[in-house]
Amino acid sequence: MKPGGPIGVVGAGSWGTTLAQVIADKGFEVDLWVFEPELCRTIRETRQNDLYLPGVALNGRINAHNDLDRVVKGHDLLIMVVPSHVYRNVATAVIPFLMPDAVVVNATKGIENDTLLTMSGIWREVLPPGLQVEVMCLSGPSFAREVARKVPTAVTLAGDDLQTAKAVQHVISTGYFRIYTSLDKIGVEIAGASKNVIALAAGVSDGMSFGYNSRAALITRGLAEITRLGVKMGSNPLTFLGLAGIGDLLLTCTGDLSRNRTVGIQLGQGRRIKDILAEMRMVAEGVKTAKSIHFLARRIGVEMPICEQVYRVLYEDKDPRVVVRELMERDLKHELELGA
């Protein structure tokens, strides 16, 4: 697949704008859908997204639009970068303008609360019969601000067809943004969504000043939980040892740019989640995903004690100090035992 015209990017948050910048740096014209009309005008006039990516001069090949059809119609390749809680609505709105045989790359990390579907699962539900669209997902350790600064970054692109994945890989990869391909789409999606929940837990640990031992234990046991969930859903266990798995988990649990870790730190310091979120402009996906993971794990019978306790802190106002005690005093087990 080689785009015959501009590439569409749906969503102008920090990550969507950054991906548009990467693709424009590669030499492609990019049509970027901006939800906020005022922000769309600002990007056109100042060549900056001062709301979500301030201080970054945007490539002149990026064309901002407020009309969805201008970004979707006639585009062979479409990158979807909208928050998971609005993903279904935006995907449904995109469908009337999609070209037959278009490739959609999902760059959103999350699991829908009501249906417990990943973003590719949402596409399977909303695509009408007969419309052939290849849906892929892009995930890995990639803070938007660092990529926008052209810091060397590597991520994973997963799809159902290796040849299409390779084609998109060559379109988007640059000298500072390296893409590896995978055929484990569900594994990459589960890893990308679940790591945000563990990052909340790591943040709580840091907020309670527990130190490096505790954080290392949380990351390691969190990876075990994520792997159990992914394998139960048919993933390749090696995916969780790659960029979309341990790579993204490490970044999100330790990096100061992590919104999920930042929320966790404030929870660990005793603040309430509603007060924390009221002050945030950008989305911390782990807050909503914690609910999805909680019910998904229950539905398919996977024990995820850390994710379970994160859910209880967020949605049942449980004291993090009680959570720590309960996690540490669980029945002693073999490290590789299911539910350990």
- Could you tell me which of 191, 183, 175 has the C-alpha nearest to residue 139? 191
Tell me if residue 333 is catalytic.
Answer: no
The yes/no answer on whether domain 7-183 falls in CATH 3.90.226.10 is no
Question: Residue 337's pLDDT is what?
Answer: 73
Widest Cα–Cα separation across the chain = 61
Cα dist. 37→31, 33, 66, 239 in Å?
Answer: 15, 10, 6, 39
Predicted confidence (pLDDT) at residue 336 exceeds the cutoff of 90: no
The chain-wide mean pLDDT, for the chain, equals 95
Coil/strand/helix, residue 269: coil
Mean predicted confidence (pLDDT) in 153-182: 97
Alpha-helical regions (H) of the chain: 14-25, 37-46, 68-72, 84-94, 119-126, 144-148, 162-172, 185-207, 212-232, 248-254, 259-268, 273-278, 285-300, 305-315, 320-328
Predicted confidence (pLDDT) at residue 311 exceeds the cutoff of 90: yes
- Could you tell me which of 63, 68, 38, 43 has the C-alpha nearest to residue 53? 43
Alpha-helical regions (H) of 54-157: 68-72, 84-94, 119-126, 144-148
Question: Residue 282's pLDDT is what?
Answer: 75
pTM (whole model) above 0.75: yes
Mean predicted confidence (pLDDT) in 157-175: 96
Predicted confidence (pLDDT) at residue 56 exceeds the cutoff of 70: yes
Question: Residue 323's pLDDT is what?
Answer: 95
Choice among 26, 109, 185, 195 that is catalytic: 195
Predicted confidence (pLDDT) at residue 339 exceeds the cutoff of 80: no
Predicted confidence (pLDDT) at residue 236 exceeds the cutoff of 90: yes
- Could you tell me which of 264, 237, 261, 265 has the C-alpha nearest to residue 251? 261
pLDDT tens figures, 9-53: 999 999 999 999 999 999 999 999 999 999 999 999 999 999 999
Q: Where are the domains of the chain?
A: 7-183, 191-328
Q: Which CATH superfamily is domain 191-328 in?
A: N-(1-d-carboxylethyl)-l-norvaline Dehydrogenase; domain 2 (1.10.1040.10)
Share of the chain above pLDDT 70, in %: 98
Rg (CA), the chain: 20
> To 10 degrees, the CA torsion angle through 127, 239, 217, 195?
-20
37 in Cβ contact with 67 (< 8 Å): no
